[in-house]
Amino acid sequence: GAAMTLSWTDKKMLSQTRMVKAREFLEDAKGNFREGRVKTSINRSYYALLAAARSILILHGANTETHEGAVTMLCLKFVKTELLPIETVKTFKLLFSRRIDADYGDFDSADAADAEEAIHLASEAVEEIERLRTTLLQRDDLYINATEDKI
């Protein structure tokens, strides 16, 4: 996206919006799973995790739109600093490849077990990110001075 300057208040608001979206996508994943739409369910599980990832990245002024960008920034800002376990990123990568297969694959390789696992993995990862997000939101003092971050 284009460079813009966001205040800490703006970042917190965007973060909240994205986490709400992550939870909506998780509910969509579960609903689609119950209705037998396995591929759509996997797609929603992945996007739940992407929205959650973007909800913490924005707090650091990182406004990534691509999967690769999100992975890179998560590693740089949260895994390297040991705020987020590497498993969260591994889950993100796994669900991305499952989504690609589900969305573009010519064979019905995805089954109910895959969709169920995707929901489970996405739910765990979203919870992990929400715990970190809560911690970051309590550290206002660190961010108040960083209102001029270019993103």
* pLDDT of 49: 98
* pLDDT of 146: 54
* pLDDT of 31: 99
* pLDDT of 4: 65
* pLDDT of 143: 60
Q: What is the pLDDT along the chain (151 residues), one digit of tens a residue?
A: 455 688 999 999 999 999 999 999 999 999 999 999 999 999 999 999 999 999 999 998 888 989 999 999 999 999 999 999 999 999 999 999 999 999 998 877 889 999 999 999 999 999 999 999 999 998 876 665 554 444 4
Within 10 Å of residue 69's Cβ, how many Cβ atoms? 15
> Which two three-digit tokens encode residue 25?
């996508």
Coil, strand or helix at 5: strand
> Which two three-digit tokens encode residue 139?
């550290």
* pLDDT of 3: 55
Coil, strand or helix at 105: coil
Helices (H), 36-111: 38-57, 67-74, 86-104
CATH superfamily of 8-144: Nucleotidyltransferases  domain 2 (1.20.120.330)
End-to-end CA distance of the chain: 8
Q: Which residues contact 141 (CB under 8 A, 6 or more apart)?
A: none
Within 10 Å of residue 37's Cβ, how many Cβ atoms? 16
* pLDDT of 144: 59
* pLDDT of 93: 97
* pLDDT of 68: 96
Closest CA to 36 of 123, 110, 122: 110
Q: Where are the domains of the chain?
A: 8-144
Q: What are the φ and ψ backbone dihedral angles of 122, each rounded to 5 degrees?
A: -65, -45
Closest CA to 11 of 47, 56, 52: 56
For the entire predicted model, the pTM comes to 0.90
Tokens 């992975």 — which residue?
71
